[in-house]
């Protein structure tokens, strides 16, 4: 099995479509982005999802209080942290009852050193960009992260598409993969067919991998 996350969901219809296609989790952005939503909208989306689909809130340098409050009000299962959050912040959010995905933007080999410092539940490897924290649609240099191949707590993001998700799974053998902008017809508007193709390609690749 492979954990599949569709990020940047902005409405109940896209959430239901992602879940219906077989996604394991959807991502809700609470930070600057064309895909940003408020807590009220997040509640609507959460209510539209069937049981078993994880709700992941994406934050950048938010306070522990804000993360926990938003998680409680929106029914989040995970907080995905994309900023310069400290290991203590991660620990306090987990102590508050919310699982944490710590994002690491891969710029060079030293980008992965931080895995040793954070006691997160999962780690997400994403592309480094000075313009954006995520959702760039750009693939990072996978060879830089080869040493985490086969880790059971790694999610791969950054330019993951229906066309290359099988390649990503074969290269990394990760716990899961995460896609956003490659599944859209416009920022914040998912293309249901591309979402279905992403999930189908990932499931097929995972099955053939054994």
Q: Which residues are marked as active site?
A: 7, 126
**Rounded CA separation 52/191 (Å):** 22
Taken in order 119, 120, 126, 131, is the CA torsion positive or negative?
negative
Which residues, 6+ apart, have CB-to-CB distance to 129 below 8 Å? 105, 136, 138
Residue 172 · residue 205 · CB < 8 Å:
no
Q: Which residues of 149-183 are buried (b: 16+ CB within 10 A; e: fewer)?
A: eebeebbbbbbbbbebbbebbeebbbbbbbbbbbb
- Residue 36: alpha-carbon gap to chain centroid: 14
């Amino acid at each position: 099995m492979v954990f599949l996350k569709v990020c940047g969901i902005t409405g109940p219809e896209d959430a239901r479509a992602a879940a219906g296609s077989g996604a394991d989790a959807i991502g809700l952005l609470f930070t600057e982005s064309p895909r940003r939503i408020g807590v009220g909208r997040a509640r609507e989306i959460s209510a539209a999802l069937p049981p078993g689909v994880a709700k992941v809130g994406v934050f950048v340098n938010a306070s522990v209080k804000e993360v926990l409050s938003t998680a409680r009000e929106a029914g989040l299962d995970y907080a995905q942290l994309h900023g310069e959050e400290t290991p203590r912040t991660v620990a306090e959010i987990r102590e508050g009852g919310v699982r944490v995905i710590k994002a690491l933007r891969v710029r060079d080999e030293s980008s992965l050193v931080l895995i040793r410092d954070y006691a997160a539940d999962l780690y997400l490897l994403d592309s480094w960009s000075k313009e954006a924290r995520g959702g760039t649609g750009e693939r990072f240099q996978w060879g830089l992260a080869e040493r985490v191949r086969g880790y059971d707590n790694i999610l791969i993001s950054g330019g993951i598409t229906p066309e290359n998700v099988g390649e990503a799974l074969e290269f990394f053998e990760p716990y899961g993969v995460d896609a956003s902008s490659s599944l859209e017809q416009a920022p914040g508007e998912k293309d249901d067919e591309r979402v279905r193709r992403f999930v189908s390609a990932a499931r097929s690749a995972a099955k053939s991998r054994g």
